[in-house]
Structures are given as structure tokens and as C-alpha cells.
Amino acid sequence: MTSDKGGARNELDERIIAARDSILAEGEKVAAEEEGDQGQGIFLTDSRLIIIKVGFAATGDPQGKIVGSFPLSEIAEVIVRKGPLGAVIQVCTQQKQTNPGTPPDNVIIFTGSQRIKRCESIAAKIETALGRPVRRIEAAGEKRDLDDAENRNRDSEVVQATEEGDSESPTATTTIDAADAKPGELDEVVK
């Protein structure tokens, strides 16, 4: 997986490869690389994290090129935001600020299930290189779905325990259920 300056992988867009090769220092090794959405790539080298965006889809300009270079020692935090349709990696440093109205050089987007897997893969490698975890944020909808499933499982356990007579206080169980119940379900709890 490692490559030197000038080493190209067939999976990457040739414009991203050209941009990568033009900014790598002599002898700098690429430890990991992934392609994000059209015209976007992220590279982990032995000394820095590089985000490259080329072309109209990534920069808003057909000939555009945006490069973010972040020395590993200056990275304050890496955030991975993941939703049902895609993921984003954001690199945060103390000194780097993005100008308003320009595409950020510290963010790379991964859309689709295959690219989400690529995002997770490179995030794990970044964690190893930094020696600390990246912050992962799941979409609220996914978290809510998980919470709802956990509540349904817990409620079915309470109902099962009550039906089997294992509960010492059915009134207390009903009170707990009523607190979690939806408005239409309260009438059924009372019966």
C-alpha cells in the first residue's frame, strides 16, 4: 500500500494522483490513501495528512485545485461524521481556518456504502498514526432508530416478566411503561 512520490495507484483519479505527486516531499511515504467523492482524495503519509480536491465537482471550478496539508503533530482532532448515505472526515487544527465562501480544504466527503467503508478504513489508519481515537458522530436518525429498538426490547422484557409473574410490583412496572409509552398507548396500559 505504501508508495513513493511518483507511485500511482490505478484506483485514484489521475488528476488527484498528479496533485499528490506534485506536493509530496522527496522520500515522503504514503501509508494510506482513499478516494472520496468525485475529485477528492485523502492521503496519510509518514508525517502529514493531505486532502486534495480537483475539478468542478470538488471545487466549483473546472480547473480548480484545493490542497489541505496537515502535519500530524498539528492535528488537534479528526472528526468522522457518518449518516445513512455517506460520511465526512474533517481535520481540525488550532491555526487553520477556512475562508467563508470557499470549499474547505480540511473536509472530504464519501457518498455511498462502498465509500463509507473506505472512510472507516482510512479513519482507522489515521487513529493509528495519531495514536489517539478520531471522534465519530453518527447521524441522529440512525441513533434514534437504535434507541427505539432498545426501548422496544426493554419493553418486551418488562411485559414478559409481568406475564410470567416475576415482577414484585405490577404497579411500578406499569408506571415505568407509562413514562415511556406513546400517547395512544396509555389507554391500553390502564386496562
Higher-scoring residue by pLDDT: 10, 85: 85
The Cα 76–Cα 91 span in angstroms is 8
The Cα 68–Cα 108 span in angstroms is 10
Residues contacting residue 95 through CB under 8 Å, at least 6 positions apart: 74
Cα end-to-end span (Å), the chain: 65
For the chain, percent of residues with pLDDT exceeding 90: 61
Give pLDDT tens digits for 120-174. 999 999 999 999 999 999 987 655 555 555 555 555 554 454 455 544 444 444 4
Q: What is the pLDDT of residue 128?
A: 96
Cell of 158: 418488562
CB under 8 Å, gap of 24 or more: what pairs does 122-128 form? 122/32, 122/33, 122/34, 122/42, 122/44, 122/89, 123/78, 123/80, 123/89, 125/31, 125/32, 125/44, 126/32, 126/44, 126/49, 126/78, 126/89, 127/78
- 177 closest CA partner among 191, 145, 165, 142: 191
> What is the model's pTM?
0.68
Residues contacting residue 84 through CB under 8 Å, at least 6 positions apart: 139, 141, 142
Task: Look at residue 189 and tell me whether its pLDDT is greater than 50.
Answer: no
The Cα 183–Cα 178 span in angstroms is 9
Residues contacting residue 161 through CB under 8 Å, at least 6 positions apart: 167, 173
- What secondary structure does DSSP assign to 94-148, as a single string? SS--PPTTS--SSEEEEESHHHHHHHHHHHHHHHHHHTSPPEEEE-HHHHHHHHH
